[in-house]
Each structure stands twice: as C-alpha cells, then as structure tokens.
Structure 1
C-alpha cells in the first residue's frame, strides 16, 4: 500500500509588488546610507531572479516602522485567512468533504501563533473533533517536505485515512527595517508570502502520485548557516553566504544513496521538484543536475513569479508538475533544504 498525493493547491495574499516597483522604495528606506551600499542593494534586488512577490502587508507597510507585536498580529490574522482559503481550494479540487480529513499538519516559521493555525482551521472548517493535529513551526524552508514525510508516515500506518499539509508563510512580516546587514538585504530581495495545501491519502481508490520513499539528511555542525534569531524587533534572518557551497559539497551524498536504495539513478527521474531557495542556490543545483541532463525549469519559474515563500514554495513547484498530468510510471524527486542544516527528499511515482 502506497500513500498518494491527491492534489496540491496554492493561495496568494491580496498584495503584490513587482521588483521594478520595489526599487524606488529602496531609496526612501536606505536614505542616509552610503551611495555604494545603496547601489549594491539595488543590484541584489535586480539580480535576484524574482519578478514579483506577494505579501500580507501593503508594500508601504513593509517599509513602515512597526513593532514585532503589530506585525505578528497581522501575521496571525492573515495566516488564518490564507489557511482557510487554501484548504477549501484543495478540498474542492479533490472533491473531498472537510469531515473526511483524519490528520492535519500546519507548517509555518514566519510568525508565532498559539494556539497554532490548525486549531483555528478545525473551527473554521468544521473538521472532525477527533482529527489528529501536528503544527510544524521551526524547520523553515524544508518544512513543506517535512509535512509530507510526517503525513506519509501516519497514513502508511493507517490505511483508509486522509491528511492535509497546509503551509502558510509570510516572510515580509519578519522584515527588519533597521537591519542593514547583507542577510537582511538578500532575504528581502528573494522572499515573498504565500500558502499551499497538499492532500494525501491511504485510500485504495484515491488517485495521485505514490510516495515510493522519503528521507531526511542532516548536516553536522551547520546550525549557524540558516535560521532566525529572535530579537526585540522580531525574527532576524540568518543566512550564511556559504549555503550554496555547503549544498554542492554534500550533493552526491544527499542524492545518490537515496536513489540507489530504490534501484534508481538521477537519469531515471523525469521531474525535478526542487525548492527555489534563491538565485545562487538554484544556479548551484541547476549546474549539478545539468550534468545528468536534467532541468529545474519549474523551480526557476516559481522563483520568478512568487519569490521564495519558505516552506510553501516547493508545493508550488509540485503543483506545476501535477497539473501537467505526468504519464503513468514517471518518477519525481522532491528536494528541499532548510535550517538545521537539513536536506529532505521524497520520491514519487505517477
């Protein structure tokens, strides 16, 4: 019995802004900074391979001085709205009733909410009172795949059950107005807000790509290269410039043994479903995959249209692949990286 991914849906916040529109706002925000520094920041934005990003905040609000409490309150309010919208959309796509869900996993790292999002969705959507809940809050960009792995393990042990993985992220609510460090500049240039929902099933009659295998990989002594630091002003981005090189150094160990234990090689994979962490990471992984004549065009397109929406982003890539209705027997490899430092993989077969 294989667990299947039945459908994926996405939901975007109400505000959006093109990179062209953001550039003039940088002049106001960076007023008083060194001219060379301002030019460098603009180049980062212009070269980030992100044409548009969406936000729970009006673009002017993003560059307005507000407290951590004020921004987190907006995060909580909008996360509930986006979570409900995207779960409704996914259930409608699958033709499922809310009461058919046995397991709900909510994923987010860009705000603090207790009770967690899943509690609100149980009430808003009238989910069953005995539904099993799991909020995943501190795994960053990798957590979209983490949620799928946790759901798959639950469903594998419980035939005839259904699960929802809901990722809601608002990196713009973590933007630090008074932080002029390079990690803050880079994160501001590549991140955007968004939500996604993935529905999984261990019912025999439910259709979708089957999960053949899944696995996590944890890098030793690399906690410092990615994450958030909680400051009085909110969640401050930690993003080491060595992340792409770290990924490249471990790439073979991450990919090949995982595929080999399934009697596969990269040449057998039809669809690369890679999380678009940012331009440099994408270029690094693209080069590594191109050696095997594989592309990550869907990843690049998601980055271009939406930016990096942390845990939700890989589900946008998965949706693009699933909407093309791959041929029976084709294989897909999902891959994400995140704080820890961690790499997580899921092997799919249509």
Structure 2
C-alpha cells in the first residue's frame, strides 16, 4: 500500500564527459609522469592502476592535460565550464525521460566537491533551462562521495513537507581536476587509479501522478573522531586528496551498526532487501563489502560493474548504480538499500520500495 504523501524517485539520467581512456591506455602517461622515479616504485604504481578494478574512465580533459603542469586555476576553470555543460545535459535528459517541463522543478539541489565555483552550478542550470524564478536551490559542496545520497535525503525531506512538488538532484564531479602532478603520495596515486569524472541527475516527486520507487526511510550515520580519514586539503596547487589506508577496515568495524539498526527500525532485516544500491568507493571497499554481503546471501554486482566501466566518480557514482536498477524495473514490493560513504566520516542510507 502506498503511503499518503509518499516521495518517489521518478527517474535517473547520466551525462558522460567527452574524453575517455581504457586503463591500459593510461599506463604510457604514467611512464612520463614517473620519469626519474625509482624503478620499483614505478612498477608498484602501474600495478595499482592495473589492479584497481577500473577498466575505463571518463574525464573533463584529455589525459595529456591531466598529467600536465596545469595551474589550480586552469584545472578549476575546466571543472566549471565542463561541469555546467554536463549538469545541463543530465538535467535536460532526466526531464525528457520523466516527461516534465523545466518549470515543473520546485527544488534544485546540486552536489559536488571536486572544484570551487560561486555562483554554484544550480544558478547556471536555472538560466540554461529557464527554471522558475522561485525555484528553491541548495548547493551541497563538502560531503564528498556521500553527497549523491545526501542530496536524495534533503530532497525527500523537502518533498515530504511539501506534497505535490518535484525536485532534481544533480551531481557533477571531476576528481581528475584534483590530480596533483608533483605529489607521489599513495593517496594521490590511489585516487588517480580509482577515480573518474561524471555527472548524473535524479528526479524525485511528492506528486500523486508520478510513479517510481518510494523512499520509505533515510538516515545518516556519523563516525566519531574520523575527520582526518578522507577529504581534500586546500593547497596552492589545488585540492589535495586525503585518503587513509584504514578506510576499508574502519567501515568494516562499523558495518553492523550502519546496517542492522537502520533496517530494524523499519521492521526489516538484510534478507528482506532485494537490491543493494551501493557506492563503489574503490576495489578494497567493494571487496570488503562484498564479503560481508556475500555471507548474507546478497551481491553487489552492479556496484562492481559501475566501478569497472566508469571508476569512482565521487557523489555521482551511486546514481549510476541506481540507474541500472531503475532501468530493470524491479517488481512491485521489492526493496532497495542505497548506501554511500564520505568524509566526516559518514555513511548515508536510503531505503526504497518499488
């Protein structure tokens, strides 16, 4: 039975940057980048790229530009111009898929953490698509990979309080814009190996006429004293990746607390969940989570496939996973659990029912 004033996900659309490369094609760029470094170190870096479970990635700029001595300003300018283009494309596409007009949007949320722009992306989308002048806008900039789910949570709360309204969440990310040419730390290398660029849009509704999986619960979970584990450090050369090697095991330690109480509050256990819509942080996190879910008889095949095809696109990635499930039109009554992790350190969860 559908609850009164339910909030549903209407559709998801993605937009891919114009540049792309297979991982094998990136290895020659590593030779140039690592020129003069110790031979064993160079072999190690290549192994990290080859073993990252990412076959292909897309980028706002050509790999030659990524591995060049571009200034922070040049990288950020590219993030802005391409981001506006991709944000416009995925919102336009989503509206077309939903058969909505731009003026149907009441609440506009943009999420991104891989560059800096003021005014934020939403201002450009309002102008490019001629959204209404009274549209409510919320830019979310500092929640990292978790922000795709965060945006859905904020949209859900707005729509729950405002029946008959419609919202768009647009995630646009360019982790390649944060690559640091003179940083040979593991954090920079691992992030270069797992991250790619991308954009996605999810449309949500509290309008009675709109169909789609209903958001039946949502919750955030904050790890105490883990602020230093993941994020960006602002430096003179741009946003420098902070990535603690202990991230997977820290998630693993918290995993039962993240999962079971949330489901129990909704009178569910993991066996009741049909679809795991999980953000692929990287190979190690995916393997760890796969092990935990495997014991519970569940798979995260779509998560692995999105990582393989696109890499980790920060906040946009979980929306690519969601799109795969939406396109398969799960049976009525089936349930999905969206889960993503981000700096803070935090986990964000959304429970869906088709």
After TM superposition, the score normalised by the length of structure 1 is 1.00
Q: Map 1:55-204; keep pairs closer than 5 Å.
A: 55-204=59-208
Provide the C-alpha distance between the structure 1 equivalents of 2:289 and 2:91, rounded to a whole number of angstroms.
31
Aligned partner of 1:251 among 233, 246, 255: 255
Aligned partner of 2:218 among 214, 220, 243: 214
Alignment partner of 1:263 is 2:267: yes
Provide the C-alpha distance between the structure 2 equivalents of 1:265 and 1:292, rounded to a whole number of angstroms.
10
SS at 2:281 equivalent: coil
Root-mean-square deviation (CA, aligned residues, Å) is 0.4
Question: What per-residue deviation string (whole Å, max 9, x for no partner) do you get for residues 213-237 of structure 1?
Answer: 0000000000000000000000000
Moved over 6 A (4+): none
Cα drift, residue 67 of structure 1: 0.5
Provide the C-alpha distance between the structure 1 equivalents of 2:24 and 2:263, rounded to a whole number of angstroms.
42
Q: Map 1:233-248; keep pairs closer than 5 Å.
A: 233-248=237-252
Alignment partner of 1:325 is 2:329: yes
Cα drift, residue 248 of structure 1: 0.3
Provide the C-alpha distance between the structure 2 equivalents of 1:74 and 1:344, rounded to a whole number of angstroms.
30
SS at 1:134 equivalent: strand
Per the alignment, residue 306 of structure 2 pairs with: 302
After TM superposition, the score normalised by the length of structure 2 is 0.99
SS at 1:347 equivalent: strand
Provide the C-alpha distance between the structure 1 equivalents of 2:56 and 2:260, rounded to a whole number of angstroms.
34
Aligned partner of 2:293 among 284, 289, 292: 289
Aligned pairs, number: 350
Cα drift, residue 59 of structure 1: 1.0
Where do 5+ consecutive residues of structure 1 fail to align?
none
Per the alignment, residue 10 of structure 2 pairs with: 6
SS at 2:240 equivalent: strand
Provide the C-alpha distance between the structure 1 equivalents of 2:70 and 2:294, rounded to a whole number of angstroms.
44
Provide the C-alpha distance between the structure 1 equivalents of 2:329 and 2:266, rounded to a whole number of angstroms.
23
Provide the C-alpha distance between the structure 1 equivalents of 2:148 and 2:215, rounded to a whole number of angstroms.
15
Alignment partner of 1:280 is 2:281: no
Question: What per-residue deviation string (whole Å, max 9, x for no partner) do you get for residues 222-273 of structure 1?
Answer: 0000000000000000000000000000000000000001000000000000
Where do 5+ consecutive residues of structure 2 fail to align?
none
SS at 1:224 equivalent: coil
Cα drift, residue 2 of structure 1: 1.3
Q: Map 1:12-27; keep pairs closer than 5 Å.
A: 12-27=16-31
